[in-house]
Structure 1
Amino acid sequence: MSDRRFKLPSFGRSRPAPDAPPMFRFNAERGQIVAEVVARASETLEGREVETLLVDAAYLETKRLQERPDSEEAREKLPSWRDLARRIPRMGDGERARALDGLVREHAQDVAGNFDPRVYHLASKILPVALTAAIAPGTLVSQALGRGGLMDRITVESDHLEALRALSRKATLVVTPTHLSNLDSIVLGFALDREGLPPMTYGAGKNLFSNPLISFFMHNLGAYRVDRRIKHELYKHVLKTYSTVILERGYHSIFFPGGTRSRSGSVESKVKLGLLGTGIEAFTRNLRARKSSPLVVYVPTSINFLLTLEAESLIEDYLKEAGKARYIIEDDEFSRADRWLSLISGLMRLKSAVYIRFGQPLDPFGNAVLADGRSVDPRGREVDPASYVLRSSEPVVDALRDAEYTRQLGQTLVDHFARETVLLSTHICARVLFEKLGAAFPDADLFQRLRLHGQLVVPRDEVVAGMDALRSRLVALEDQGKLRVGRVVRQARPAELLERALLAWRDYHGPHAAAEWREGQVALGDLELLYYYQNRLSVFGRHLGASS
């Protein structure tokens, strides 16, 4: 399916108010942004071997397109890449420079997003009501009164919301969430709007722009296109340059530092550093330009689902060790309307089904940032973030130095992800049942256990007791600041938590439920799904003991 850009007609648009969020002026600046990206990317490539960059691009793109020669993209682009590959050895310096500039411009145009305030208002105000009403028509009146809708199932927790609102007016925010589902950017967008935080731009896989369910919104809500199939260095350079330029211009952004959805269901323990480091460069360039609001502030964020839309496809991909081969899954539940409706229907029956936690704001060097924009170190002493990038009293972009800062920032985010993760009833129930599976078949390895479908039934009281004991340990860890548990997990009786988990799995996963009631006992069902949901606790193994 084509990923052409679906836009509303331009009539009826008005100029954004002076105090409107930065994204409202994006389209007016889009041409300037693309031009600046092209100029900056070409400038920073000076001194590089142009022929090497061109050969790398032509070789890798030709190889990629030849893998699917009958695709529309291959028919359109493969001849030109082959032609470029043939011409490179005979090109003079000027012709090579023009070819490089053309590729940079083409990539910059393709990457750059589009933002329509009308679509933003439609998506944030009307779409949640319409979705809820379609699934539960009886909620329409209660939604009109401001309650009972899908948004009520999204719980936002943070000790820093007031600080974030203040910082959004004096710094550029980079929200860095954990990544479980392609729904993450959608629910995060709803949460930002509801909590009085501005709309943000974000990088999204190019395959999502052709998704029939959301392509219109992807093309109009500021997302920039990231084609993860393209591996050559020039494209990556354009992406990083684009990210740097929009941060310099004050566009709040969302980065998923894990790079892709967690296939296993676990919390990220490693992050990708490429785009993450663009905030450091943007901050340095802002200082060099003497901008009044140079600071870039990172916001570690956790997104936690009672149920994950694509759980079945993701864990299958993980267990086949095909994550690298199928880095982009184009045929999962995200493209199926029936799975969306089933998930939303299940979530509507359960309160607090999605938790989003905004963590401590950080400067690019991992120091906490206060509401007034000051940075403080772990001992509470004020530090000047500009001091990290000065050389002879002047701010300087230094790739090697900044790579180390980015690595340290990445580790800091990983630490915050664990502390901000919210554990829910499906995670706890799955952990207890998976431990029971291990105890019942101690000599089997993981893959042998996952083939034991239908071979274990656990007495209800054993499961309830196990969930009660695990809940107590998790609450103790929450009191130590190691993690978070959902409000229902903390307050409900263990038997209610078991009922909630089994109900959620039944309503969404149906015959593939991770576990189900059977004659008053708990029968283990789809063991791959059970493994997926219990993996949310894997990052806390050193506190809980390794899962069997």
Structure 2
Amino acid sequence: MSQPAPKSSRIRDLLTKPIRLPQWFASRRSATDPRVFSFNDERDSVVNEVSARVVAQCLGPRLEFLINDSAHREIERLEKQKDDEAREWLGFWRTVVRKLARMTETERHEVLRQIVEPMARDVAGNFDPRVYSFAQKVIPGLIAGVMNPKQLMVDAASVRKLGAERLVSLTGHLDEMHALAQIGTVIVVPTHSSNLDSLAIGESLARENLPPVVYGAGKNLFTNPIISFFMHNLGAYRIDRRIKSQIYKQVLKTYSCVMIERGYHSLFFPGGTRSRSGMLEGRLKLGLAGTAVEAYARNAIRAKSRGEAPRPIFFVPVTINYALVLEAESLVEDYLKEKGQARYIIEDDEFSQLDRWLAFFRRLTSYGAACVLRYGPAIDPFGNRVDAQGRSLAPDGRVIDPVSYVTHRGEPVLDPARDAAYTRDLGRELVEHYRRETVIMTTQLVAHVLFRKLVRETPGVDLFGRVRRRGEITWDHAEYVTCYRETLGRLRALQEQGEVHLNSYLETDSAERSLERALEAWDGYHTRTMARVADGQIVIEDPALLLYYQNRLVPFAERIAGEGDERAAIEIAALAGGQ
């Protein structure tokens, strides 16, 4: 059976074809360049290794089932799409279904290769140092220019600085990350609220002179040619969430594993997709994160044969904390419709609407530190804390050897069942880090205090009944101020215990100013009014959006509730069970 000839458009070819650097540029590379700068030179090698490994893993008694599973799932998907990809591949998959039962093992092996190789090549990204250099110099200024075009004409350099440093604040264990990036392979694992997250992480790494990372991005984000060009040439590899076959999932995992084995710093979103509810991730999708455990075991086996220590692998949890979320309205609507898992990919949200981008960024110009990225302490693939020298530490502070976790009878070995257990432990540890490294923003605290009042005033009403109470609940402004101050005091106590962090505005603004700041941010961007003040009363107008922003405080709801709010806090805390 021959493989169908590709019929991709010229634009797609331009966006996905690796850019080969000229010899004069390659000669200027230095030993201190980030590892990813040389990725395009070994891209074919990576794809070939991924393909060979996946083919080997699929051979055996389950081969016919795996091919049949892929064929039926792809036929179902492509018949719905009715696009160029469908015209290119439907004939191939229908032929596979028709002939599979009569194929010899050799023929099935060849069909498997024809399936895996295009998948691996489609997933693999590129990295062009020229595009990276251009993006570092130009994109922050362009974004800042959108936010403040008049100032751009006066002083482009200051506007560029405004676009990066005024709006995105960096904090946490950054010095430690600098040291670890020189010692081993770093895997950045952030929370996920917006499609802007990968841009925010990339900008923060560039600002700190940390090496760039490779990362998986939904293929739906590559539909815009300009965004696609930058993402595809800055380390992003494509994940097509429409493809449900087990072979494709194995390709994704193997690609991630091979990249980590080869020492490429990486970025995963363990939540899998953006948090529809606005809550911190409590249940993680650890398929890609689990590849780090396998990668470490494979490296340990190779290192043992050479009499060396394996290259360390470090996970760095990051919380991305927004005062205003670009796609909040679409996300919370999806959450409330309970279609998050069913839709999985939202293609018509604010991220794809230029006018919403403009409104979003313009609102942020009046809100300094509108996004806070907090880099948490690093851990090894088995959940152990590591020090600045990259040594794994036991809970009592003793230095331990992580190789012992993948060793059996004195030799490092591959053991998928064992590695799956370690990955679950890693996931639980990441969830705890996310909670402790959260930075509470003014909009989130104001929303929580208002939503808790709504819950208190609607006993016995379920969540969906409450979000329909638009304009029905009012609250005396002076009473709100008292409640806000008490709640903030309890949050400060949690901060002193190392349980959470507060944005700088919460440390300096009065209760009155905090409310004003939140209302200004919401009213200047969201299409629906969330709350308003009239005649000394606060009127709750959009409980659904309040729910979204207050959900960041769900883990702390019971500990920051005052007298009379205990029952409401219990109900709010219970929302976490519905993730």
Specify the code of the residue in structure 1 equivalent to 2:72: Y
Q: Is the 8 A contact 1:297 1:363 kept in 2?
A: yes
Quick check: 18-27 or 520-529, which moved more? 520-529
Residue 458 (structure 1) shift: 2.2
Q: Is the 8 A contact 1:212 1:335 kept in 2?
A: no
Deviations 1:495-537 (A, max 9, x none): 111111101001111x413223334432222221111111111
- Residue 129 of structure 2 corresponds to 117
Say which SS state the counterpart of residue 169 (structure 1) adopts. helix
Q: Does 1:36 align with 2:56?
A: no
- Residue 111 of structure 2 corresponds to 99
- Residue 201 of structure 1 corresponds to 214
Specify the code of the residue in structure 1 equivalent to 2:497: Q
- Residue 71 of structure 1 corresponds to 83
- Residue 455 of structure 1 corresponds to 472
Q: Does 1:14 align with 2:25?
A: yes
Deviations 1:426-485 (A, max 9, x none): 111111111121222223221111112122232222222222111111111111111111
Residue 84 and residue 21 in structure 1: after superposition, are their counterparts in 2 closer, same or farther (change >3 A)? Answer: same
**Aligned length in residues:** 545
Q: Is the 8 A contact 2:290 2:420 kept in 1?
A: yes
Say which SS state the counterpart of residue 149 (structure 1) adopts. helix
Q: Is the 8 A contact 1:213 1:335 kept in 2?
A: no
Residue 198 and residue 507 in structure 1: after superposition, are their counterparts in 2 closer, same or farther (change >3 A)? Answer: same
Residue 143 (structure 1) shift: 5.3
- Residue 324 of structure 1 corresponds to 341
- Residue 176 of structure 1 corresponds to 189
Q: How does 1:57-456 map to 2 (within 5 A)?
A: 57-66=70-79, 68-140=80-152, 141=154, 144-145=157-158, 147-158=161-172, 160-212=173-225, 214-290=227-303, 294-456=311-473
Alpha-carbon distance between aligned partners in 2 of 1:220 and 1:41, rounded to the nearest angstrom: 25
**Aligned-pair identity (%):** 47
Quick check: 536-545 or 233-242, which moved more? 536-545
TM-score, structure 2 normalization: 0.90
Q: Is the 8 A contact 2:268 2:289 kept in 1?
A: yes
Quick check: 139-148 or 444-453, which moved more? 139-148
Unaligned runs of 5+ in 2: 1-8, 561-568, 573-579
Alpha-carbon distance between aligned partners in 1 of 2:558 and 2:439, rounded to the nearest angstrom: 17
Residue 77 (structure 1) shift: 2.3
- Residue 534 of structure 1 corresponds to 550
Residue 189 and residue 310 in structure 1: after superposition, are their counterparts in 2 closer, same or farther (change >3 A)? Answer: same
Pairwise CA RMSD of aligned residues?
1.9
Residue 40 (structure 1) shift: 1.6
Say which SS state the counterpart of residue 324 (structure 1) adopts. helix
Alpha-carbon distance between aligned partners in 2 of 1:104 and 1:197, rounded to the nearest angstrom: 34
Alpha-carbon distance between aligned partners in 2 of 1:202 and 1:529, rounded to the nearest angstrom: 30
Q: Is the 8 A contact 2:19 2:128 kept in 1?
A: no
Alpha-carbon distance between aligned partners in 2 of 1:61 and 1:149, rounded to the nearest angstrom: 43
- Residue 564 of structure 2 corresponds to none
Say which SS state the counterpart of residue 157 (structure 1) adopts. strand
Residue 499 and residue 212 in structure 1: after superposition, are their counterparts in 2 closer, same or farther (change >3 A)? Answer: farther
Q: Is the 8 A contact 2:188 2:316 kept in 1?
A: yes
- Residue 514 of structure 1 corresponds to 530
Residue 8 and residue 336 in structure 1: after superposition, are their counterparts in 2 closer, same or farther (change >3 A)? Answer: farther
Residue 295 (structure 1) shift: 1.0
Q: Is the 8 A contact 1:142 1:148 kept in 2?
A: no
- Residue 485 of structure 1 corresponds to 502
Say which SS state the counterpart of residue 340 (structure 2) adopts. coil
Alpha-carbon distance between aligned partners in 2 of 1:259 and 1:149, rounded to the nearest angstrom: 28
Specify the code of the residue in structure 2 equivalent to 1:515: A
Q: Is the 8 A contact 1:201 1:253 kept in 2?
A: yes
Specify the code of the residue in structure 1 equivalent to 2:146: A
Residue 302 and residue 3 in structure 1: after superposition, are their counterparts in 2 closer, same or farther (change >3 A)? Answer: farther
Alpha-carbon distance between aligned partners in 2 of 1:297 and 1:475, rounded to the nearest angstrom: 31
Residue 392 (structure 1) shift: 2.1
Residue 344 (structure 1) shift: 1.0
Q: Is the 8 A contact 2:59 2:109 kept in 1?
A: no
Alpha-carbon distance between aligned partners in 1 of 2:144 and 2:18, rounded to the nearest angstrom: 25
Alpha-carbon distance between aligned partners in 2 of 1:287 and 1:9, rounded to the nearest angstrom: 33
Specify the code of the residue in structure 2 equivalent to 1:114: N
Specify the code of the residue in structure 1 equivalent to 2:244: K
